[in-house]
Amino acid sequence: MNIEVVVRKTEQGFWEGTHCGEVRNRLPSLLNVGTANIIRLLRSQVRPQQRVLEIGFAPGKILAYLALKNAATVSGIDYSEKGVAASRRLFECLGIAADLRCEDLFKSTFLERSFDFVYSLGFIEHFENPEIVVERHFRYLKPGGRGLIAIPNYSGVYGRLQARYDPDNLAIHNMDIMERGSLLRLTNGLDCLDVTAYEYGRINPWLVSYERKWPKPLALGVNFIGNLAGLLQPIDVKAVCPLLVIEFTRVGS
């Protein structure tokens, strides 16, 4: 695949800035509904001793969770030096062995066809041509391996709210792929089966940057109330699911 055709909607400096804060050296809190959604999504996917790769893994908390709670053998690719450094400190503090590489996905030294499960969270939507990124997920899978990609669902209510409160943030997201049909088409041409796309998760107020227009205490109050509502929500409701997910299996044995 020609890496020169990749068109990014963000620069590396954006991610260095995202990962410049202090990371607490502990597993992610399930009191955050966004984190709880992700953990619930992944826990049933990963089995003990599977080789798992997260693409864009910094700050590493989800990958650390899968290593400790699901007994997976974990690896990660991320091109943010600050994010990888913080992740390595986290893994060292928690006593987790992992292969965490600070690399560009399109120049990675990981061997192809070597992982049982490859996933990313909020990654492919930052590219103008995400089908190339999906193909990279695919190529690292063993025959019979499973791929999972989750992106924020800005196609409905979250997108309308974010357009009002933080349109600049929406501009770094590829809105064209934020519906199931478009996600499914990203696997066209790949030798895979069991391809499925779906909405997922309890209501997540943290997808909307209320603090851009409201005083910070008010924004935090609304987010905490919405977070509690999401934690108490008994089932997923399609209209307010904060994630869009695509899964696929690489053909072979």
Q: Residue 81: which H helix or E strand, with range?
A: helix 81-94
201 and 242 in contact (C-beta within 8 Å)? yes
DSSP letter string, 28-72:
PPTTSHHHHHHHHHHHTT--TT-EEEEES-TT-HHHHHHHHHS--
Q: Average of pLDDT values for 209-234? A: 97
Model pLDDT, residue 55: 98
Q: Pick from 52, 19, 21: which is nearest to 120 by CA?
A: 52
CA distance 96 to 74: 9
Residue 114, classified by CB atoms within 10 Å of its CB into exposed (0-12), middle (13-18) or buried (19+), is middle
68 in a structural domain? yes
Model pLDDT, residue 155: 93
Residue 180, classified by CB atoms within 10 Å of its CB into exposed (0-12), middle (13-18) or buried (19+), is middle
Confidence of residue 20 (pLDDT cuts 50, 70, 90): low
Angle at 76 between CA 75 and CA 79, to 5 degrees: 155
pLDDT at 24 over 90: no
Model pLDDT, residue 200: 98
pLDDT, mean over the chain: 94
76 in a structural domain? yes
* Assigned token pair, 166: 């933080």
> What residue numbers bound the domain in which 79 lies?
3-152+179-203+241-250
CA distance 119 to 199: 16
89 in a structural domain? yes
157 in a structural domain? no
pLDDT at 40 over 50: yes
Instruction: Summarize pLDDT for 47-67 with one digit per residue, the tens.
Output: 999 999 999 999 999 999 999
218 in a structural domain? no
Model pLDDT, residue 253: 62
pLDDT at 10 over 90: no
CA distance 143 to 55: 19
Q: What is the CATH number of the domain that holds 54?
A: 3.40.50.150
Instruction: Summarize pLDDT for 168-218 with one digit per residue, the tens.
Output: 999 999 999 999 999 999 999 999 999 999 999 999 999 999 999 999 999
With residues binned 3-state (H G I as helix, E B as strand, rest as coil), the percentages for the chain, rounded to 5, are: 45, 20, 35
* pTM (two decimals): 0.95
Confidence of residue 1 (pLDDT cuts 50, 70, 90): very low
Q: How many domains does the chain have?
A: 1
194 in a structural domain? yes
* Assigned token pair, 105: 């996905």
195 and 247 in contact (C-beta within 8 Å)? yes
